[in-house]
Structures are given as C-alpha cells and as structure tokens.
C-alpha cells in the first residue's frame, strides 16, 4: 500500500499544465488575479478610472508569462507603467506588478545583465513616481522611499537567483558524476570481461595443448612402451585437474565477489583476481614465485626446460607480474605444441634498469607431434595485448640457429640491482 501512495504522490507533484508544473502556473494565476483585483478596487476613485483598470489587466496578463519570458514581461510591464506616467495618473496600487516583473527578470533571466538593466529602468521609474506623487512630503523623500522598496526587491531577487543557480549547479554536478560513475562501471565491466577472456584462454588453451600432445604421445607409445604411455596419461590427468581447479577459481571470483578490504592499499582493487584475492587462498593470484612449479609441469610433459633469473626482481604491480607469468606460460606452450616433446627450452627473466625482459627460446629439436598442432590460436595476439597494456613490446619469430624465440620487454616502476640466480 505504501509504495502505491508514494507513486501517486510523485505523479501529483510532477503533473504539468501546458508543459509547466501546475503549482507554478497556479501561483502565477493567483498573482495576476491579485493585480486585477487591485485595479478593480480603485475603479471608482483612482485617476484614469476604467482606463487604469485596463492597464492593470494588461499587466496581469503579462505576469502570467514571467517565468518563461522574464525579460519580455519586464519590458511589457515597464511600457505599461510608462503609459501610466505619461497619462499623469501617478503611482497606483496595481503598480506592485512592476516590482513582481523586476523580481522575475532578476531571478529567471538567462543573463544577469537583463536584471541590471531592469534595475536601472526601475530607478528611473522611481524618480518619475516621486515627481508625480502629490503630498506634503518632498518628492525626493518619496523617491527615496520607493527606491528603498525597489532596491530591497532587487536584492532579494538577486539572492534567490544565486541560490537557484547554486542548486542547479549541484544538480548538474550530481548528474555529471552519476554519468561518470555509469561510464566507469561500464568500462570496468568491459575490462573485467577482457581479463576473464584472457584468463580463460590461458587456462584452457595452454592446458589443452599439453593434454593433446601427451595424449598423442601415449597413443603412439601404447604398444612400444606402455610405461611411457602410462606416464603420459598421468600427465594428461594431472593437467586436466589443475585446469579444472583454475577454472573453478576463476568462475568463483565471478559468482562470489569478495567484499573490498578496508585495510587494503589503493591498488588492492586492481589486483588481477579482484578485491581480497591476496587474503583468500581460493582467489589467490599467480606470481613469479610460481614459475618453478610451472616449469616442472612442462618438464613432466616432456620439455627440457631451464629457468634463469637475472637481476634482483623489483616490486611489480600484480597485473604486471601476472603478465610476466602468462608470457612464460604461452612461450612454453608454443614450444611444446610446435617444437615437440624433448625440445630444449631456455626461459630467461632479466630485471635490469627500468624494465623486465622475458625471453623464451626453444631449439626446435623435439620429437615432432603425432598430429599437426591446431591452427588459429590467439596466443601471440593475447600476449601482445597483455604486453601492450603496460606499454611494453613483444617480438616473436624463428631463430637462424633453429627453433623459435619469444621476447617481451615490460617497463618497471622502479630500478633494481643486478645479481644472477640460475635454476636447473
């Protein structure tokens, strides 16, 4: 029941008449009616008689449009007041319409210049009204009184105009911020979809490549060397389990978004696996410390891989560290798919100066795969996109001595010293 009442109230408040809010129209009609009544009240004894009443009616009609066309209304009312001055009728009760028109042009005009001009015109009218006022008080005293009233109306209108423009500015700023938030949200969604697509490619394509190579090898060696075939089948099973685990972790990030950590630093929300990834083991991110485990899996798949780290690794943003990991993974996968089982691969991660250089080189001397490697992959394209995000460069191609080489250079946020660690 309550939501329906709120809806009815909202519709009532926002109802319009001829395109304008009904409350504003009703108020303007009331103001015009008051001006007409003041003109009719003095019909019997005011100077000008019924002609002055017609002038008041014309002023009242003009005031009906004071919000939509304030400057034009001010000119029309001033012209009618000038007719009154020329006729020598002097100030009358319905001349309150002049003050209303002055207030309206200061408050509603697009430019304050119109309000200033209206104020100048009102000052001239004040002098003329003082000159035409008959009584025991000097004309200048009457003019000062009229001037104080007119000036007070002008200042009140200026204050209301300032407040109105301030509120409109706040509303516009709020609307702009809302549009910016929506745009940022759409950009974040698009970026997250791109990241998920890359991660799914890395998990599925790399693991499937290893499984296909091992399955072909097992089929080829099933009758000649059953033990080797069993080992290949074991690698297929282990690789499939690991891929399934990584995919579950990735999908879990989408299904169960973790709450932002209040204690996390400014870059916590930008971690590759989402907020809270470092604290939640199920949503952990891949790091360079896991490169040895990655090489062990490819060694089990049949590659003769060596891993060399040159220089002291500098602290990297999580996304940059993940990019290094994925470049190595893609290079090893390509070597296994195209160079074949038994190929020698040298993985080098060099941290020197202001950049980290990742190089994956194979000798191309492995056992040819039983079936041709599937074509149409997006490995190199994905690597170029990842590296391009961090303003890096990627080169990939055959070597003169045989084999294939992939080299990526990524700018580092800070310099690092140079040492050398070699792992067999």
Over the stretch 227-244, which tens digit does the pLDDT of each residue have?
877 777 887 787 777 777
Give the mean pLDDT of 358-363: 92
> Rg of the Cα trace of the chain?
41
Q: How far apart are CA 73 and CA 102, in angstroms?
A: 9
Say what the pLDDT of residue 255 is. 54
Beta strands in 234-342 (DSSP E): 304-310
- What structural domains and CATH numbers belong to the chain? 2-134 (no CATH), 180-255+270-423 (3.30.565.10)
In this structure, of 222-226, 301-305, 361-365, the range with the lowest mean pLDDT score is 222-226
Say what the pLDDT of residue 342 is. 84
Cα 322 to chain centroid, rounded = 26
Evaluate whether 416 touches 352 at the Cβ level (below 8 Å): yes
**Higher per-residue confidence, 11 vs 314:** 314
Please report which confidence band the pLDDT of residue 225 belongs to, taking 50, 70 and 90 as the band edges.
Answer: confident
Residue 373 has pLDDT above 60, yes or no: no
Say what the pLDDT of residue 283 is. 43
Q: What percent of the chain has pLDDT over 90?
A: 13
Say what the pLDDT of residue 51 is. 85
Please report which confidence band the pLDDT of residue 251 belongs to, taking 50, 70 and 90 as the band edges.
Answer: low
Say what the pLDDT of residue 152 is. 92
| Dihedral sign, Cα of residue 6, residue 9, residue 13, residue 19 | positive
How far separated are the first and last CA of the chain, in Å rounded?
A: 74
Q: What percent of the chain has pLDDT over 70?
A: 75
Average pLDDT, the chain: 76
What are the tens digits of pLDDT across the range 143-180? 888 889 999 999 999 999 999 889 989 999 999 999 99
Cα 382 to chain centroid, rounded = 26
Q: Which residues touch 243 (CB under 8 Å, ≥6 apart)?
A: 203, 204, 207, 208
What are the tens digits of pLDDT across the range 90-106? 778 888 889 999 999 99
- Alpha helices for 222-280 (secondary structure H): 226-255
Q: How far apart are CA 354 and CA 311, in angstroms?
A: 11
Say what the pLDDT of residue 7 is. 41
Please report which confidence band the pLDDT of residue 10 belongs to, taking 50, 70 and 90 as the band edges.
Answer: very low
Evaluate whether 378 touches 201 at the Cβ level (below 8 Å): yes
Which residues, listed in sequence order, are joined to residue 406 by a DSSP beta bridge? 360, 396
In this structure, of 116-120, 156-160, 306-310, 351-355, the range with the lowest mean pLDDT score is 351-355
What are the tens digits of pLDDT across the range 58-93? 988 999 988 888 999 999 998 888 888 887 787 788
Q: Which residues touch 129 (CB under 8 Å, ≥6 apart)?
A: 85, 90, 91, 95, 142, 143, 146
Give the mean pLDDT of 275-286: 44
DSSP string, 4-62: HHHHHHHHHHT-EETTEEHHHHHHHHHHHHHHHHHHHHTTTTSTTTHHHHHHHHHHHHH
Say what the pLDDT of residue 402 is. 84
Say what the pLDDT of residue 136 is. 58
**Higher per-residue confidence, 421 vs 42:** 42
Please tell me what DSSP assigns to residue 376. Answer: -
């Amino acid at each position: 029941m309550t939501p329906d009442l709120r809806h009815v109230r909202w519709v009532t408040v926002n109802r319009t008449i001829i395109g304008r809010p009904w409350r504003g129209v009703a108020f303007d009609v009331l103001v015009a009616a008051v001006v007409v009544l003041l003109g009719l009240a003095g019909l019997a004894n005011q100077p000008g008689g019924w002609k002055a009443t017609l002038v008041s009616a014309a002023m009242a009609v003009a005031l009906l449009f004071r919000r939509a066309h304030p400057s034009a209304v001010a000119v029309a009312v001033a012209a009618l007041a000038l007719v009154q001055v020329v006729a020598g009728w002097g100030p009358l009760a319905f001349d309150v319409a002049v003050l209303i028109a002055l207030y309206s042009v200061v408050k509603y005009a697009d430019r304050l210049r119109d309000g200033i001009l209206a104020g100048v015109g009102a000052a001239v009218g004040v002098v003329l009204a003082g000159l035409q006022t008959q009584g025991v008080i000097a004309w200048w005293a009457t003019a000062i009184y009229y001037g104080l009233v007119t000036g007070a109306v002008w200042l009140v209108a200026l204050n209301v105009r300032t407040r109105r423009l301030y509120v409109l500015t706040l509303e516009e700023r709020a609307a702009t911020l809302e549009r910016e938030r929506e745009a940022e949200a759409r950009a974040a969604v698009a970026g997250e979809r791109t990241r998920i697509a890359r991660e799914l490619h890395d998990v599925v394509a790399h693991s499937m490549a290893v499984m296909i190579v091992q399955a072909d090898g097992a089929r080829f060696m099933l009758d000649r060397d059953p033990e080797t075939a069993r080992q290949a089948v074991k690698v297929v099973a282990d690789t499939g389990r690991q891929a399934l685990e990584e995919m579950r972790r990735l999908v879990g990030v989408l299904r169960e978004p973790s709450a932002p950590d209040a204690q996390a630093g400014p870059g916590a929300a930008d971690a590759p696996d989402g907020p809270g990834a470092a604290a939640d083991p199920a949503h952990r991110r891949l790091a360079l410390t896991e490169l040895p485990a990655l090489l062990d899996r490819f060694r089990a798949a049949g590659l003769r891989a060596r891993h060399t780290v040159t220089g002291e690794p500098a602290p990297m943003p999580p996304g940059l560290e993940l990019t290094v990991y994925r470049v190595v993974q893609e290079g090893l996968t390509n070597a296994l798919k195209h160079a074949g089982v038994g190929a020698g691969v040298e993985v080098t991660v060099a941290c020197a100066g202001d950049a980290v250089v990742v190089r994956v080189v194979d000798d191309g001397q492995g056992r040819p795969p039983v079936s041709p490697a599937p074509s149409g992959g997006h490995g190199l394209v994905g690597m170029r996109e990842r590296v391009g995000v961090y303003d890096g460069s990627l080169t990939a191609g055959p070597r003169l001595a045989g084999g294939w080489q992939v080299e990526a250079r990524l700018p580092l946020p800070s310099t690092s010293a140079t040492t050398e660690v070699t792992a067999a």
